[in-house]
């Protein structure tokens, strides 16, 4: 089938590559000339395991193409996927400028029926806005043709995006028209094998489903972080509590890991956008505000632990920092806990020696060269001459380090662990002063 995808960012590129992988003829459109040039050469502008190989293989097979031309994009695909960014406005609501620009340009070049698929995370009611924007342009053109708008939210996790797309646990389709259900079913058939994963519903419910999923997951994390903070004051161990509650299948083990807060491109933005939607409809979404507030506070935990150890004034110290990305297997630093920590440390006159397996280039892009930031070649190098070690991202390679090296290299044998990677008992045995989240230390 012929598919056009607008936006070659995270969602667009993964969708494009995976749809091409199963044999579709995919054309990706982006306005960023630099990005398109890179992609035409098989270079991938983001870090996602396996994506480069999949893109390159499908380019070579002639199933995946890139262009700057919207006209070409509209001419190409029966399916017109909108996967452009919806950055948060100053007030937290999603900015639909790019989505509606794409919708208008589809209508501008359309010569017959198209199915327009909203893949970007967009507030409830966006499909109606897309339809209206397209109708206006068609009226201006005095051109009459049928088209459908479908909501098809994505549930990809960074770092596992290909697997999530190729083996989805559900494919949500929001539609008001049986014709589109059949077309979408056909397009997704290769991903819908062992049992029917297509969940078909009305458009608004599909749009809300995406926010509901992310807000629920963010709520689980903030709930555990709230409990972790209480456990600390109560002399309980949140890790034991986590196992104690996770064994109840109604609660489950997923997404109940306490830590120094969630980050990334989705949770912070989507919880805020849903809160904003609530405000617009005159509803006070108290739970969502609390989820957001707890997370904001949690990102300060590593700094608070440092103050707990060294006292309020940290000026002149050097902190070794392991982890910059908002989570493992990505170079994404959007809303990362590392940023809150580094920015606070710098304000206090503290130097940072950081290491991250993949996010250091991104860190330089964000912060440039600074006297109070050294990006180190290895995790061990980051320890050299530092006062203590702080961990904010749970990369696999940090799970079992050589604690003797850590002790030798650091001025003080102090670890502040924002992700609860080690056991307090083991740390005590090794003579390391260990601070974790919700573990009484």
Active site residues per annotation: 266
CB of 214 to ligand UDX, least distance (A): 5
Q: Which of 166, 163, 170 is nearest to 198 (CA)?
A: 170
Residues paired with 199 in a beta bridge: 172
- CA dihedral sign of residues 341, 343, 344, 347: positive
Which lies closer to ligand UDX via its Cβ, residue 97 or residue 157? 157
Q: Tokens 């002790």 correspond to what residue?
A: 407
Return binding residues.
30, 35, 86, 121, 155-158, 210, 255-259, 263, 269, 327, 334
Using only the alpha carbons of the chain, give its radius of gyration.
24
Return binding residues for substrate.
155-158, 210, 255-259, 263, 327
Q: Which of 32, 118, 28 is nearest to 66 (CA)?
A: 28
CB of 298 to ligand UDX, least distance (A): 8
Compute how many other C-beta atoms are within 10 angstroms of the C-beta atom of residue 40: 12
CB of 225 to ligand UDX, least distance (A): 8
- CA dihedral sign of residues 273, 148, 68, 97: negative
Rounded to whole angstroms, the Cα distance separating 147 from 127 reads 12
Rounded to whole angstroms, the Cα distance separating 139 from 351 reads 60
| 63-86 burial: b if 16+ Cβ within 10 Å, else e | bbbbbeebeebbebbebbbbbbbb
Which lies closer to ligand UDX via its Cβ, residue 81 or residue 267? 267
CB of 8 to ligand UDX, least distance (A): 18
Return binding residues for NAD(+).
30, 35, 86, 121, 158, 269, 334
Which lies closer to ligand UDX via its Cβ, residue 157 or residue 308? 157
Which lies closer to ligand UDX via its Cβ, residue 157 or residue 240? 157
Strand order in 79-82's β-sheet?
64-67, 25-29, 2-6, 79-82, 114-118, 147-151, 171-174, 198-201
Which lies closer to ligand UDX via its Cβ, residue 106 or residue 291? 291
Task: List interacting residues with ligand UDX (CB under 6 A).
Answer: 154-158, 214, 217, 221, 255-257, 259, 262-264, 266-267, 326-327
CB of 208 to ligand UDX, least distance (A): 15
């Amino acid at each position: 089938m012929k598919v056009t995808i607008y936006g070659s960012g995270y969602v667009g590129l993964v969708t494009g590559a995976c749809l091409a992988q199963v044999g579709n003829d995919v054309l990706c459109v982006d306005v960023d000339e630099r990005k398109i040039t890179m992609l035409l050469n098989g270079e991938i502008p983001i870090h996602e395991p396996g994506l480069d190989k999949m893109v390159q293989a499908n380019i070579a097979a002639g199933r995946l193409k890139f262009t700057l031309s919207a006209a070409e994009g509209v001419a190409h695909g029966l399916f017109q996927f909108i996967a452009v960014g919806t950055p948060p406005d100053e007030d937290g609501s999603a900015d639909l400028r790019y989505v509606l620009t794409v919708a208008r340009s589809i209508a501008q070049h359309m010569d017959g029926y198209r199915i327009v698929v909203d893949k970007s995370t967009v507030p409830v009611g966006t499909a109606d806005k897309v339809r209206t924007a397209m109708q206006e342009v068609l009226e201006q053109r005095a051109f009459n043709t049928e088209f459908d708008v479908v909501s098809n939210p994505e549930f990809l996790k960074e770092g596992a995006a290909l697997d999530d797309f190729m083996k989805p646990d559900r494919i949500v389709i929001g539609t008001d028209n049986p014709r589109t259900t059949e077309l979408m079913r056909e397009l997704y058939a290769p991903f819908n094998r062992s049992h029917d994963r297509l969940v078909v519903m009305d458009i608004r419910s599909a749009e809300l489903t995406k926010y509901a999923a992310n807000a629920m997951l963010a709520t689980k994390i903030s709930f555990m972080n709230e409990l972790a903070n209480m456990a600390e004051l109560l002399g309980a161990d949140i890790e034991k509590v986590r196992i104690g509650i996770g064994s109840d299948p109604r609660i489950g083990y997923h997404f109940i890991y306490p830590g120094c807060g969630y980050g990334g491109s989705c949770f912070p933005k989507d919880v805020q956008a849903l809160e904003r939607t609530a405000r617009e409809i005159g509803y006070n979404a108290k739970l969502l505000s609390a989820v957001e507030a707890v997370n904001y506070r949690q990102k300060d935990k590593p700094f608070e632990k440092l103050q707990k150890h060294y006292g309020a004034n940290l000026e002149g110290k050097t902190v070794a920092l392991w982890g910059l990305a908002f989570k493992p297997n990505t170079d994404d630093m959007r809303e990362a806990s590392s940023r809150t920590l580094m920015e606070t440390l710098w304000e206090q006159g503290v130097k940072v020696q950081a290491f991250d397996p993949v996010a250091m280039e991104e860190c330089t892009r964000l912060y440039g060269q600074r006297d109070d930031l050294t990006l180190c070649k290895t995790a061990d190098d980051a320890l050299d001459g530092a006062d203590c070690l702080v961990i904010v991202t749970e990369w696999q390679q940090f799970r079992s380090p050589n604690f003797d090296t850590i002790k030798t290299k650091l001025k003080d044998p102090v670890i502040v662990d924002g992700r609860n990677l080690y056991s307090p008992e083991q740390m005590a045995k090794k003579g390391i002063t260990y601070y974790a989240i919700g573990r009484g230390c």
